Amino acid sequence: MDRNNEKTHFLDSSKPVTLSPSWEAQKLPDDDLNFKGMGKVQHLPLKPPVDKWKLVFLIFLIHGLGTLMPWNMFITAKSYFEDFKLASPNANETTVYASNFMQYIGFASQIPNLIFNWLNIFVHLGGDLTKRIVYSILFELLIFIVTVLMAILDSSSWQDVFFWITMISVVLLNMANGIYQNTIYGMAATLPIKYTGAVVLGSNISGLFASIVSICSKYIFSSDRTSAIYYFITAMLILLICFDTYFALPLTQFYRYHTMLRRKEEKPLTNQPHQSTKVPYGTVLKQAAPQLFNIFFTFFITLSVFPAIHSDIKAVATDFVIPPELFASITCFLTFNLFAMLGSLTTSWIQWPKPRFLVVPVVLRVVFIPLFLLCNYLPKGIDRTLPVVITNEWVYWIIGIVMSYSSGYLSSLGMMYAPQTVQPKHQLTAGMFAAAMLITGIFSGILFSFVMPSLVAL
């Protein structure tokens, strides 16, 4: 078969391309293998097409950035919420909303995210893939518009109302994001392993991006209100880019090939036309369990210390190179997001240890919990009685760098390995399980972080 004939078999160009990467909306018989709006495919090409200019890799990286954008934008805006919107009129006092804001925002973010991540595996929430992603992004944009409006308004006289509006907005935002994130990881799992890595890399870039935007907005704008407005508008621009780039996926032969390949794998093995293929969730869960544990435990340890403990560690020395007002922004948020991104990026070239032994460094990371508690951790409203053992800011910073880098590196390996432990036709489901375990680890870590202030006050 020559190249021209091969190309003709792969895509019938006589019909227009519909910008929808989803096939579920069209009821195709089992022996048809095509996309909605695309001509009937008779044969897949003998040689898989390449991802020209790494376009598909870049798109999944952008969506990885978008999936954690809501979480990162809210936690990185800690100072805006605690020291501006929810600050007490008396400088010597702390409101109950400000003292526990990071824990509250963690619960409001991760409970709905956790529920909808798991539901999305078993129930097609929102319909087919396209509807799930598009509607989720549009809903998130709507919530960010509300957040910007709340930043514009002076809420000093109704802090309690502002707090609960913020919490409700975060809950709704993460309901949509749970569906969006889980679906994106499932889609990436059907492609070669590095595309799951692209989503994880994008999610780590998301945190770095949020930290840089936060620091820049504080320097550019003298007003906390103006800074917050443009800060949250930036998140809206990122989500608009995610919305637009999603529709570029079906325009690439590389993505179409792998999606058609997955569709072929999912076809029933019998010739009976009405027999459906049921996903063996128990088998998939059992086969992927070792890597699912690695994903869970990596994020559990990370979220036990970041950002709840990490962001409340203060400099002991008054003449440290970083000024006090930027100490948490740089040593916590910027450091974590930068080195988590670098750790994730490293997996593009190095994938060690192999799946069987990944659990060893994952479990060893438990040492970071006591290490951070022994730093100058001063939670709001708590009188610390535990002695501060690590008083050198550089030592604390190095501990933070190692924790951050290992988080990005090990979590990326776990997310990449998980879909490879099952049959190709079940990789989408394994990818969704991996995303759900990621969120489960985050939620469990946030829950565990609530006991940390009590541990230093014993």
> Any idea which residue has 């392993």 for tokens?
193
Over residues 351-370, the mean pLDDT reads 97
DSSP H stretches of helix in 123-223 = 129-152, 159-189, 193-220
Query: Does 302 map to a domain?
Result: yes
Asked whether residue 60 falls in the same domain as residue 134, the answer is yes
- Which pLDDT value is given to residue 259? 81
* pLDDT attached to residue 425: 85
Q: What's 242's domain CATH number?
A: 1.20.1250.20
Asked if the model's pLDDT at residue 37 lies above 60, the reply is no
Establish if 23 belongs to a structural domain: no
What is the C-alpha radius of gyration for the chain, rounded to an integer number of angstroms?
Answer: 23
Q: Answer with the residue of higher pLDDT: 30 or 354.
A: 354
Helix/strand/coil percent split, the chain, to 5: 70, 0, 30
- State the Cα–Cα distance between residues 155 and 165, nearest whole angstrom: 11
Q: Give 87-114 pLDDT, tens digit per residue.
A: 887 767 778 888 778 778 888 888 998 9
98 neighbors 164 (Cβ within 8 angstroms): no
The answer, yes or no, to whether residue 15 has pLDDT greater than 50, is no
Token look-up 């078999």 returns: 9
Distances in whole angstroms, Cα of residue 234 to Cα of each of 50, 146, 229, 306, 339: 33, 14, 9, 23, 22
Residue 29 belongs to some domain of the structure: no
DSSP string, 401-445: HHHHHHHHHHHHHHHHHGGGGS-GGGHHHHHHHHHHHHHHHHHHH
- Higher pLDDT, residue 88 or 417: 417
Do residues 233 and 378 share a domain? no
Average pLDDT, the chain: 85
* 3-class DSSP state of 301: helix
Give residue 352's pLDDT: 94
State which amino acid sits at residue 42. Q
Whether 336 and 415 share a structural domain: yes
Model pLDDT, residue 130? 79
User: Peptide bond preceding 424: is omega within 30 degrees of 0, i.e. cis?
Assistant: no
Domain housing 320: 279-457
Alpha-carbon distance 102 to 140, whole Å? 21
**Domain shared by 298 and 434, yes or no:** yes
pLDDT given for residue 44 in this prediction: 60
Q: Which residues contact 150 (CB under 8 A, 6 or more apart)?
A: 162, 165, 166, 169
- pLDDT, tens digit, 9 for 90 and up, residues 233-267: 999 999 999 999 999 988 888 998 888 887 776 66
Q: Side chain identity at 49, as an amino acid letter?
A: P
Residue 98 shares a structural domain with residue 235: yes
pLDDT, position 45: 62
Residues 407-425, mean pLDDT to the nearest whole number: 94
CB-count burial class (<10 Å; 0-12, 13-18, 19+) for 418: buried
C-alpha–C-alpha distance, residues 87 and 105, integer Å: 16
Number of domains in the chain: 2
255-288 b/e (C-beta count within 10 Å ≥ 16 → b)? bbbbbbbbbeebeeeeeeeeeeeeeeeeebbebb
Tell me what the mean pLDDT of segment 433-442 comes to: 94
User: 354: exposed, middle or buried (C-beta count within 10 Å: 0-12, 13-18, 19+)?
Assistant: exposed
Average pLDDT over residues 419-448: 92
> 292 and 363, same structural domain?
yes
Q: Looking at the structure, do residues 211 and 67 belong to the same domain, yes or no? A: yes
Domain boundary among 214, 233, 266: 266
Q: Which residue has the higher pLDDT, 163 or 277?
A: 163
d(CA 243, CA 252): 17
Residue at 283 is within a domain: yes
Please check whether residues 123 and 151 belong to one and the same domain.
Answer: yes
Task: For residues 132 and 227, state if they share a domain.
Answer: yes
Query: What stretch of H or E contains 347?
Result: none
Q: Is 62 helix (H, G, I), strand (E, B) or coil?
A: helix
pLDDT at 71: 82
Take residue 341 and report the two structure tokens written for it.
Answer: 């991104």
The answer to whether residue 79 scores a pLDDT higher than 70 is yes
Secondary structure class of 277 (helix, strand, coil): coil
Q: Are 249 and 368 in the same domain?
A: no
**pLDDT, position 38:** 42
User: Which of 19-23, 57-61, 157-161, 304-308 has the lowest average pLDDT?
Assistant: 19-23
Q: How big is the chain, counted in residues?
A: 458
- Could you count the other beta carbons within 10 Å of the beta carbon of residue 382? 15
SS3 93: coil
Integer Cα distance of 156 and 93 in angstroms: 15
Is pLDDT of 39 > 80? no
Using the predicted structure, report yes or no on whether residue 28 has a pLDDT greater than 60.
no
Angle at 236 between CA 56 and CA 409, to 5 degrees: 50
**Domain match, 347 and 402 both:** yes
Distances (CA, A) of 229 to 148, 152, 197, 234, 238: 5, 7, 32, 9, 15
Boundary residue ending a domain (266, 300, 335): 266
- Please indicate, yes or no, whether residues 151 and 177 belong to a single structural domain of this protein: yes
- pLDDT for res 8: 46
Boundary residue ending a domain (205, 234, 266): 266
Let me know how many helices (H) and strands (E) the chain has, helices first.
Answer: 19, 0
Domain contains 34:
no
Q: How far out from the chain centre does Cα 381 lie?
A: 31
pLDDT of 267 reads 60
Q: What is the C-alpha to C-alpha distance for residues 378 and 391, in angstroms, rounded to an integer?
A: 13
> Where residue 83 falls among pLDDT bands split at 50, 70, 90?
confident
The enclosing domain of 411 has a CATH number of 1.20.1250
In a domain? residue 446: yes
pLDDT digits over 319-355, tens only? 899 988 889 989 999 999 999 999 999 998 999 999 9
Structure confidence by residue, pLDDT tens digits, 164-201: 999 999 999 999 999 999 899 988 988 998 999 899 89
Q: 1 vs 73, which has greater pLDDT?
A: 73
Torsion 416-420-421-424 (CA) sign = positive
| Within a domain: 28 | no
In a domain, 17, yes or no: no
Residue 43 pLDDT class (50, 70, 90 cuts): low
